[in-house]
Amino acid sequence: MLYFNGNSLGALPKTAATDIGRVVQEEWGGGLVESWLDADWFFLARKAGDAIAPLIGASAGEVVCADSTSVNLFKLAVSLLRQSKDRRTVVTERGNFPTDVYILEGLVQLFGERFDLVVAEPETIVGAIDGDTALVLLTHVNFRTGAAHDLAAITAHCNAHGVPVIWDLSHSAGAVPLALNDWGVEYAVGCTYKFLNGGPGAPAYIYVAQHVIATHEPVVTGWFSHANQFGFEDRYRPTDGIEKCLVGTPPILSLRAVMHGIACFDGLEMSDVAQKSWALSELLIDLADDRLAHHRFTVASPREPEERGSQVSFRHPEAYAVSKALRAAGVVADFRSPDILRFGITPLYMRHVDIWDAVDALAGIMAGESWVAHRTETPDAVT
């Protein structure tokens, strides 16, 4: 299989399957409850966060692994909106990943319409952010087109206006170099099951910069964020550190898989990973220009490598039918409504020859009629 969906669900790290088996047999089966301490389960959410930190340009103690990206967005956004005094707008972008916008819509209702949701065009985002903005929520790399925002410049603009900004890094971490600390980013979330290879349903991560952790007020005040968790006190007191972003008992099996996903990056510089991503993507775009353009494929991703994440998307009026024919030919690239055929580029396990073979398969399909049979099918719920 030629797998171009590592930006949706990353591949299984070889070490994960054997270790998860061992965790189940020995730590759960043998150690039982003792393993919370003996096998370090208790500290795993923080350990995974510390392991993710260097991949996003953060420091140890600024990241924990917990909950889903959607829930982490909710946690951060409520906390920040609660602190907002008289600012009225919440800014996001058209074409953002739906869950991000849905969460904000829910929050506007939760706060009794105190805030107005502004869904700006991506290229006009900066103009939509001003002294009346209570919160900005943006996704760094767009899930459809792979277009990347200038994260550092937008963050600097927000910081200059005293506007809190949350970045969704789901399509960035493990895909492009990030320097959250250097760029002045204070809040971010992202998932671990894409480029970080953490496995299906793996817990997401949440980043709060060191200099704002002390003033950050958790809103889902569960016992894993208590200052004295095993004191079982009657009343809530938040802990001081990044653990204040935790809520309840973490999913240990999934967290162990996340550790293996992140370990795939051991000894690698993200700049080298990005160089290979660019080389593979350039090859894909060049070959598509040569062999697919006359079959009505247009490049939907930015052509400048530094303006996109680690994916190349094409528009085609029959993208769904073509994606199904490609799958039948052993090339997994996905369809995103309405007309996008999306190739995730995962430099850790993708070769140049894979790009060549995928384009060759696609050109072969377009030269024939096999894809036409898929025209009448309804898009799968999960593709």
Ligand X SMILES: Cc1ncc(COP(=O)(O)O)c(C=O)c1O
Active site residues: 97, 168, 193-194, 342
- Contact pattern for ligand X over residues 313 through 342, marking x by CB under 6 A: ------------------------------
Is position 70 an interface residue for ligand X (rule: CB under 6 A)? yes
Is position 170 an interface residue for ligand X (rule: CB under 6 A)? yes
Is position 139 an interface residue for ligand X (rule: CB under 6 A)? yes
CB of 100 to ligand X, least distance (A): 6
- 167 versus 320: smaller Cβ distance to ligand X: 167
Is position 4 an interface residue for ligand X (rule: CB under 6 A)? no
- Piece of the chain touching ligand X by CB under 6 A; list 97-105, 179-187, 217-225, 262-270: 97-105
Is position 56 an interface residue for ligand X (rule: CB under 6 A)? no
Strands 298-299 and 187-190, by their bridges, are unpaired
Is position 69 an interface residue for ligand X (rule: CB under 6 A)? yes
- 319 versus 359: smaller Cβ distance to ligand X: 319
Kindly tell me which residue out of 15, 59, 84, 99 binds ligand X, with binding defined by CB under 6 A. 99
CB of 89 to ligand X, least distance (A): 21
Is position 187 an interface residue for ligand X (rule: CB under 6 A)? no
Kindly tell me which residue out of 3, 4, 41, 97 binds ligand X, with binding defined by CB under 6 A. 97
CB of 176 to ligand X, least distance (A): 14
The contact set with ligand X (CB under 6 A) reads: 68-70, 97, 99-100, 139, 143, 168, 170-171, 191, 204
